[in-house]
Amino acid sequence: MILRQVLMEGTKALRDAGIEGPERDARLLLAEVIGMLAARMSLEPDLKVSDAQAKEFHSFLARRVAREPVSRILGRRNFWGRDFEVTPDVLDPRPETETLIDLCLQGPQPATLLDLGCGSGIIALTLLAEMKTARGVACDISDACLAVTKRNAVSVGVLDRLDLIKSNWFSDISGEFDLIVSNPPYISDAEMTSLSLDVFNHDPHLALTPGGDGLAPYEALAKGALKHLSKGGRILVEIGYQQGPDVVRIFETAGLADVQCHKDLNGHDRVVSAHQS
Ligand SMILES: C[S@@+](CC[C@H](N)C(=O)[O-])C[C@H]1O[C@@H](n2cnc3c(N)ncnc32)[C@H](O)[C@@H]1O
C-alpha cells in the first residue's frame, strides 16, 4: 500500500471511533512508524508502506481508539518547540502551559528560578533553555517525575544549571528565588467525574487533583512564596479556567503584591502572577 491510502484508512478508523482531530492523530502516528516528519508526508503521497510498518501503524491506531493519547503512544510531547519524554508517571504537558512560559519570558531575566511540581520538567527546562544565565531548582513529590525531569534536562542541555529536589511543595526548599513557577494539580473532586477518558485513564491522578475544591496547593504556594521570593521577585502559577477569582483572593490574602490574572489564547483565565510585597 502507499502512504496516502494508509493515511486515509487510519484517519477513517479514528473518525469512526469518535476521536477528535482524526487526520492529525493518524498523521502523527504514521509519521512515527515510517520515520518521517509529519509535515513532510504530504510531499510523498506515493511512498510505499511495508507490511511491517502497516502492522505497527494498526497497533498504534488500536491504542488511540482505546483513548490512549498520541503523546503516550509516542512517549514524547513537543512543548515550546522542544521534544520532552513523557512516561505514564508524568502529566502529559498541555499547550495552555505555554501561556505561563510566555508571561515569564516577558518579565526580567531571573538569576534563580524554582519550579514546584515539575512533572516532566517542561516549565523549568524551557525557562532555563530560554534564559541562558539562569540557574534553577525543579521539585516534585514524586521520585518518578524527578527522574523524567532529569532525563529531559540532559536532552535539552540544561542539567548543569539545574538542581532536582524531592519536596512536598516548599517543605525541603531553602533559599530565595527571583522567579517561582508552578502548574499544580488543580482539578476539583466534582470536575474529576467529568474528565474525558484520555485524561482520566492516562494522566496520573496525583498530577491532576489535590482533592476537595482543587485550591489547596495555591494556599501552600502563596504562603511559601512570601518566604522564598527575593525582593521584587515574581510568582506565576497556572490555574483552572474557573479559578481566577479564588486564586487572586488567596494570593492577596497571603500578602502578595500586584496580583493579576492573565488569559490564555482561548480567552480563558489561565495564569495568576504576583510580586513579593
Ligand atoms: C499538573 S502537574 C504539572 C507537571 C508539569 N509542571 C507540567 O506543567 O506539565 C502537577 C505536578 O505536581 C506534582 N505534585 C502533586 N502534589 C505535590 C506536592 N504536594 N508537592 C510537590 N509536587 C506535587 C505532581 O506529581 C505533578 O508532577
The angle at the Cα of 9, spanning 23 to 30, to the nearest 5 degrees, equals 60
What is the average pLDDT across 210-229?
98
Q: Is the pLDDT of residue 133 over 90?
A: yes
Q: Which atom of ligand 1 is nearest to the CA of 124?
A: 6
Q: Are strands 162-166 and 257-263 parallel, antiparallel or unpaired?
A: unpaired
What is the average pLDDT across 235-264?
98
What is the average pLDDT across 117-134?
98
What pLDDT score was predicted for residue 122?
98
The phi and psi torsions of 268 (rounded to 5 degrees) equal -95, 145
What lines the ligand 1 site, CB under 6 Å? 91, 93, 97, 116-120, 122-123, 140-142, 145, 168-169, 183-185, 206-207
Summarize pLDDT for 2-45 with one digit per residue, the tens.
Answer: 999 999 999 999 999 999 999 999 999 999 999 999 989 999 99
CB-facing half-sphere around the CA of 159: CA atoms within 13 A: 11
Alpha-carbon gap, residue 213 to 189, rounded angstroms? 6
- Residue written as cell 509519521? 31
Residue with the nearest Cα to atom 24 of ligand 1?
207
Query: Global pTM?
Result: 0.95
What pLDDT score was predicted for residue 277?
79
List the alpha helices (DSSP H) in the chain.
3-16, 22-34, 51-65, 70-74, 97-106, 122-130, 143-156, 189-192, 197-200, 205-208, 216-228, 244-254
Alpha-carbon gap, residue 139 to 212, rounded angstroms? 23
Summarize pLDDT for 165-208 with one digit per residue, the tens.
Answer: 999 999 999 999 999 999 999 999 999 999 999 999 999 999 99
Structural fold of domain 3-66: Helicase, Ruva Protein; domain 3 (1.10.8)
Interacting residues of 38 by C-beta distance below 8 A, sequence separation 6+? 27, 28, 31
C-alpha 10, offset from chain centre: 27
What pLDDT score was predicted for residue 22?
97
Summarize pLDDT for 135-171 with one digit per residue, the tens.
Answer: 999 999 999 999 999 999 999 999 999 999 999 999 9
CATH code for residues 87-275: 3.40.50.150
Instruction: Write down the domain spans for the chain.
Output: 3-66, 87-275
- Mean pLDDT computed over every residue of the chain: 97
Residue 141 identity (one-letter amino acid): I
